């Protein structure tokens, strides 16, 4: 499941919407919506995210959060390390090998390092 898929499922269940009802309103198939929730499809288009925002009639902050989650929710990531130090390529490859066996706590530590870096850069 992707961060976007988890949020989408939370919103749908909180609002009492069925997958079939929501899919019909968004003009997508229930199978596509299910795959999106389970992280079996790539990130949703900006247009679909906006349709979901409209469907749930969410407030501005929550709409921005949905857009952010959509951007970071591609389940098959490619990291281009060409032109970077060999250690960057090693780090990317080792992460790809190890992430499936990492505990939630280990992943949380990695995310905290990235979050701290982002804060230092002011983004």
Eight-class DSSP state of 99: G
The tokens describing 24, both together, are 């019909």
Q: What is the pLDDT of residue 123?
A: 62
Name the CA radius of gyration of the chain, rounded.
17
Residue 107 CB partners (closer than 8 Å, separation 6+): 99
Q: What is the pTM of this model?
A: 0.69
pLDDT digits (tens, 9 = 90+) for 15-61: 999 999 999 999 999 999 999 999 888 888 999 999 999 999 988 89
The full set of domain ranges for the chain reads 3-71, 86-121
**Superfamily in which the 3-71 domain is placed by CATH:** lambda repressor-like DNA-binding domains (1.10.260.40)
> H/E element holding 100?
none
Segment 71-92 mean pLDDT = 88
* Mean pLDDT for all residues in the chain: 91
């Amino acid at each position: 499941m992707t961060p976007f898929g988890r949020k989408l499922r939370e919103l749908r269940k909180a609002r009492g919407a069925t997958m079939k009802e929501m899919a019909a309103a968004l003009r997508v198939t229930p199978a596509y919506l299910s795959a999106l929730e389970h992280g079996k499809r790539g990130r949703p288009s900006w247009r679909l995210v906006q349709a979901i925002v409209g469907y749930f009639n969410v407030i501005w902050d929550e709409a921005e959060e949905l857009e952010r989650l959509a951007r970071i929710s591609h389940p098959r990531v490619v990291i281009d390390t060409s032109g970077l130090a060999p250690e960057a390529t090693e780090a990317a490859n080792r992460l790809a090998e190890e992430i499936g066996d990492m505990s939630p706590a280990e992943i949380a530590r990695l995310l905290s390092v990235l979050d701290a870096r982002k804060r230092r850069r002011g983004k």
